[in-house]
Amino acid sequence: MTQTRIILDTDPGVDDALAILLMLASPEIKLEALTTVHGNVNVEKTTRNALALLEFLNARHIPIAAGCSLPLIKSSLHGGEVVHGASGLGGAVFPEPTIKPLHIHAVDYLIERFLTEPNEISLYAVGPLTNVALAIRKEPRIVNAIKELVIMGGAVRSGGNASPQAEFNIYEDPYAAHIVFNSGIPITLIPLDVTYKCLLTSVDVERLNQIDSPIAKFVRDVTVDYMAHYLKYEGFAGCGLHDPLTVAVVIAPELLSFEEHYVNVDISGGESTGKTFADFMKVSKKPANMKVALDVKGREFVELFIERLKKLSLLNKKEIASG
């Protein structure tokens, strides 16, 4: 099987952690590296969480480069502690990781990796786009070296989750998103329009926990407060599988319905800053700059997610228990 080679730019984050689990559970994917960014919590914490998670999963061989601590222009972080918990990983507790990040900044790491092997590796970005935008500005040749850029971000027809109009990853650094969207990199966008149709419930989590494994228990611990937040503020018993849904682009693209559109981000500084909008009626006459997922077979994706995590739980049970 030819594997899709992926570098994941991430801000773990509950659903980031679930995306990492799903990638490691998917034989179609070779997860080659993680780069971390500010977002759900600060970059020190997102980096610590990434290291701790890979150590827990016996995936110490995957390198991690720490990235930007602040957005390009905004001087403060909105942050996601209220959703993802103070550590960023809800109620999951890990010991201090013994593995360390690389001695290279994430932006330089991305440039080096993509320029060394042009068009061989895909970049998945599931946090604010600061690292990716800076890499484009520092080394514009990266634009032609990234095979595909899959982004979890934006709310195209749906409302926002960070402001009434803006989705969190884009809202956190709209200027970075503006640079990335207009860069010419082949982009696939997975916005809230589809991720909110992929709801993991506590019943699903308990189905997974029929297997007595550290991974299944981790999924329960990491999601319990996240689900409580969704129930309190959004009125449903479950949580959106935002970042994990990017993995469907490789493992189950038939579950997603895509359209090609010109999509941009509002950086006007007004109330709708961070809003992503698509030129559905082609009035701007601008060529499409990305493929946008606008529908998904949500329950089928959640079932696939559970099936993959069950297999991972069984596979790694012994290894992790003795690790």
Among 9, 16, 173, 193, binds ligand BDR (CB under 6 A): 16
Kindly state the smallest distance separating residue 216's Cβ from ligand BDR, in Å.
Answer: 21
> For 211, which DSSP code?
S
Q: Is 80 in the site for ligand BDR (CB under 6 A)?
A: yes
Q: Indicate the residue among 145 and 265 with the shorter CB distance to ligand BDR.
A: 265
Tokens of 181: 């969207």
Q: Is 122 in the site for ligand BDR (CB under 6 A)?
A: no
Asked if residues 40 and 117 have their Cβ atoms less than 8 Å apart, the reply is no
Among 22, 129, 152, 247, binds ligand BDR (CB under 6 A): 152
Reduced to 3 states, what is the DSSP secondary structure of residue 119?
A: coil
Q: Indicate the residue among 193 and 262 with the shorter CB distance to Ca ion.
A: 193
Q: Which does 167 bind (CB under 5 to 8 A by kind): Ca ion, ligand BDR, none?
A: ligand BDR
Kindly state the smallest distance separating residue 13's Cβ from Ca ion, in Å.
Answer: 4
Tokens of 271: 């109330």
Among 126, 142, 177, 187, binds Ca ion (CB under 5 A): 126
Name every residue whose Cβ is closer than 8 Å to that of residue 177 and which is 6 or more positions away in sequence: 128, 129, 133, 153, 154, 169, 170, 265, 274, 276
Stretch that binds ligand BDR, among 91-99, 164-172, 257-265, 305-313 (CB under 6 A): 164-172
Residue with tokens 């701790």: 52
Kindly state the smallest distance separating residue 271's Cβ from ligand BDR, in Å.
Answer: 19
In the stretch 233-252, what mask flags binding to Ca ion with x, by CB under 5 A?
A: ----------x---------
Burial of 221 (0-12, 13-18, 19+ CB in 10 A): middle
Q: Is 242 in the site for ligand BDR (CB under 6 A)?
A: yes
Give the number of other CB atoms < 10 A from CB of residue 118: 13
Reduced to 3 states, what is the DSSP secondary structure of residue 4?
A: strand
Q: Is 188 in the site for ligand BDR (CB under 6 A)?
A: no
Q: Indicate the residue among 41 and 208 with the shorter CB distance to ligand BDR.
A: 41
Q: Smallest Cα–Cα separation from 78: which of 199, 194, 160?
A: 160
Name the amino acid, one letter, at 185.
I
Name every residue whose Cβ is closer than 8 Å to that of residue 182 and which is 6 or more positions away in sequence: 264, 289
Q: Indicate the residue among 11 and 193 with the shorter CB distance to Ca ion.
A: 11
Which residues of this protein are in contact with ligand BDR, per CB under 6 A? Answer: 13, 15-16, 40, 80, 83, 126-127, 152, 161, 167-169, 242-243
